[in-house]
Amino acid sequence: MYRTNTCGELRLEHCGREVTLAGWVQRVRDLGAMTFVDLRDRYGITQIVADENTPDEIRNQVNALGREFVVQVIGLVRERASKNKNIPTGEIELEVRSLRVLSASVVPPFTIQNDTDGGDDLRMKYRYLDLRRAAVQQNLFLRARMAHVTRGYLADHGFIETETPVLIKSTPEGARDFVVPSRMNPGEFYALPQSPQIFKQLLMVAGFDKYFQIVKCFRDEDLRADRQPEFTQIDCEMSFVEQEDVLNMFEGLTRHLLKEIKGVEVDTFPRMPYSEAMEQYGSDKPDIRFDMKLHEITVLAQGKGFPVFDTAEYIGGICAEGCGEYTRKQLDELTEWVKRPQIGARGLVYIKCGTDGTVKSSVDKFYSEDELKNIADEVGAKPGDLVLILSGDKDHTRNALGLLRLEMANKLGLRPKDTFRPLWVVDFPLLEWNEETKRYFAMHHPFTSPKPEDIVLLDSDPGKVRANAYDLVINGVEIGGGSVRIFDSGLQARMFEVLGFTPEQAEAQFGFLMNAFRYGAPPHAGIAFGFDRLVSLFAGLDSIRDVIAFPKNNSGRDVMNDSPSPISLEQLEELNLVIKLPE
């Protein structure tokens, strides 16, 4: 038997017992008269001690241990003289009676403890060592618990977990596909799924009624903090349902997770149409933990001779509560911030509302005090508040104001990580115009159903058609999205036409789906949650990397095994990826 107990288990009540522990040496402290060793495993840390009563031979063995050696220790549990209140095993220690080194370690490149001295790159390269750190392990244990609770909930609600293939047909669905050459079919390729979308719809045609899968998806996109080339979804589909049924089911799952995992009870999730989200928050994923809504002041602010405003399509402001005393320096910093390319505003106008009722602005030249007060009123500012105003074209300016809103909320501490405010954003537009290619794209995906009352607009004004599509947003993070699907092959064909596919292209790409719909397709709808994002939100982290055991870096590389990497000429030839010239 390698061990009788774990390193996190022993307490005062175990004193006097002989036990066997096994684990990694975190630290050795040789104090002359005594040597202390911190022995670590997944469950905790136990202090091992060798003192003047320990036979020399064992004492020498203990003193020869190095960091990250794997050892087995037999010893007697005893009460510590000086207790450590910070760890659960802090009241006891193990008086070593025998010791066996199971595996030695070279000196690790960084310390394996929560406040490690290792930088990001080094920890990625030695991810298996980084994964030894309790803080990192906790994130992955949280992930495992969340997957377990999710499975339990969905199984209890009649969902069938079904695997769908990983080698599939390449179909343009939004992002770029990763492709895999087929050795047996020269010149042909599989794609890795961006999502199991079509398969789950086919499972509905097959009568599965309720499907789910916790599944890897692959998208060849540029990476950000909340994106990885491979990521995990909680993917679901349901038959004979309407939007309302899907929202209720997955609101249920989210509440269940919040309760089970975080011990948090939340009210019914509010619903907000996409148009309102854009108008009031400048974002389709509003953080509603705080107010600070956008207010349009175009009419109020124009016609007073300020050229920047007079030529703007949209002028809007937000009110930063209690910031009326901001200094010149703070305002300059904010101005620089909005001018960053990621925000892209050309300048920032402010109105400082003094606690004495006076107002001061950066555009005093053009506006009377009353006019400025009117604007401040419109934006909801009170004495002591600061009004921040941006102008320009509508979409861009709203977006920039939305980002400024988040920035101000960060400064004001209005985004506490332990508060969860979920929200459904509904009634997304069906289509999105792309100026470059001069055509419409599906905002969600091509299988999303238009709202029945908007179908007439498909011919006259496609941009106005709303979809039966919805997103779950928590604290400003898009956690999931889905839609009611088209289940009529005629409407699906029409949709492909609107998206610029010729009937032949549609047939070649999606013929099998439209064909399946001709054999009796049930009405169906579904949703997918970004599981990595959900876990990182629950863990209070900003990046999904920390909740993935072996993530890629920002260039999509696994720096631990150095992939992607070249393959041999033989492999290339076998895959028909090089043309062999005759000798």
Part of the chain binding ligand ASP (CB under 6 A), chosen from 123-131, 146-154, 398-406, 522-530: 522-530
Note whether 528 binds ligand ASP by CB under 6 A. yes
Query: What is the smallest separation between the CB atom of 543 and ligand ASP, expressed in angstroms?
Result: 20
Note whether 468 binds ligand ASP by CB under 6 A. no
Nearer of residues 324 and 480 to ligand ASP, judged by Cβ: 480
HSE value, Cβ hemisphere, 13 Å, CA-based, for 190 = 13
* Residue 540: both structure tokens together: 């209070």
Using Cβ positions, the residue closest to ligand ASP within the complex turns out to be 195
Query: What is the smallest separation between the CB atom of 221 and ligand ASP, expressed in angstroms?
Result: 13
Nearer of residues 309 and 531 to ligand ASP, judged by Cβ: 531
DSSP letters spanning 531-571? HHHHHHHHHT-S-GGGGSSS---TTS-BTTTTBS----HHH
Q: What are phi and psi of 136, to 5 degrees?
A: -75, -40
Query: What is the smallest separation between the CB atom of 529 and ligand ASP, expressed in angstroms?
Result: 9
Query: What is the smallest separation between the CB atom of 24 and ligand ASP, expressed in angstroms?
Result: 40
Nearer of residues 472 and 537 to ligand ASP, judged by Cβ: 472
Query: What is the smallest separation between the CB atom of 447 and ligand ASP, expressed in angstroms?
Result: 8
E-assigned strands of 336-414? 349-353, 359-361, 386-392
Please give the Cα distance from 209 to 303 (Å, whole number).
Answer: 60
Residues 488-514 as b or e (16 or more Cβ within 10 Å = b): bbeebbbbbebbebeeeebeebbeebb
Note whether 449 binds ligand ASP by CB under 6 A. no
* Residue 77: both structure tokens together: 């549990």
- 469-508 residues in contact with ligand ASP (CB under 6 A) are 481-483
Query: What is the smallest separation between the CB atom of 161 and ligand ASP, expressed in angstroms?
Result: 16
- 5-44 residues in contact with ligand ASP (CB under 6 A) are none
Part of the chain binding ligand ASP (CB under 6 A), chosen from 84-92, 127-135, 499-507, 523-531: 523-531
Please give the Cα distance from 375 to 389 (Å, whole number).
Answer: 10
DSSP letters spanning 127-182? HHHHTTSHHHHHHHHHHHHHHHHHHHHHHHTTPEE----SSB----SSSPPPEEE-
Q: Binder to ligand ASP among 150, 197, 243, 449 (CB under 6 A)? A: 197
DSSP letters spanning 194-216? S-SHHHHHHHHHTT--EEEEEEE
Note whether 229 binds ligand ASP by CB under 6 A. no
Note whether 526 binds ligand ASP by CB under 6 A. yes
Closest CA to 282 of 250, 260, 314, 311: 314
Contact present, 74 and 106 (Cβ < 8 Å): no
Closest CA to 49 of 87, 10, 79, 9: 79
Part of the chain binding ligand ASP (CB under 6 A), chosen from 224-232, 289-297, 419-427, 521-529: 521-529
Query: What is the smallest separation between the CB atom of 492 and ligand ASP, expressed in angstroms?
Result: 15
Nearer of residues 391 and 468 to ligand ASP, judged by Cβ: 468
Nearer of residues 234 and 353 to ligand ASP, judged by Cβ: 234
As a whole number of angstroms, the longest Cα–Cα distance in the chain is 93
Q: Whose structure tokens read 């038959």?
A: 239
C-alpha dihedral (125, 126, 127, 128), degrees to nearest 10: 150
Note whether 195 binds ligand ASP by CB under 6 A. yes
Note whether 527 binds ligand ASP by CB under 6 A. yes
Partners of 24 in beta bridges: 40, 70
Number of residues in contact with ligand ASP under rule CB under 6 A? 8
- 154-173 residues in contact with ligand ASP (CB under 6 A) are none
Nearer of residues 198 and 404 to ligand ASP, judged by Cβ: 198
Note whether 201 binds ligand ASP by CB under 6 A. no
Please give the Cα distance from 346 to 338 (Å, whole number).
Answer: 8
Burial class for 78, CB neighbours closer than 10 Å (0-12, 13-18, 19+): middle
Query: What is the smallest separation between the CB atom of 500 and ligand ASP, expressed in angstroms?
Result: 21
Query: What is the smallest separation between the CB atom of 498 and ligand ASP, expressed in angstroms?
Result: 18
Query: What is the smallest separation between the CB atom of 235 and ligand ASP, expressed in angstroms?
Result: 7
- Residues in contact with ligand ASP by the rule CB under 6 A: 195, 197, 481-483, 526-528
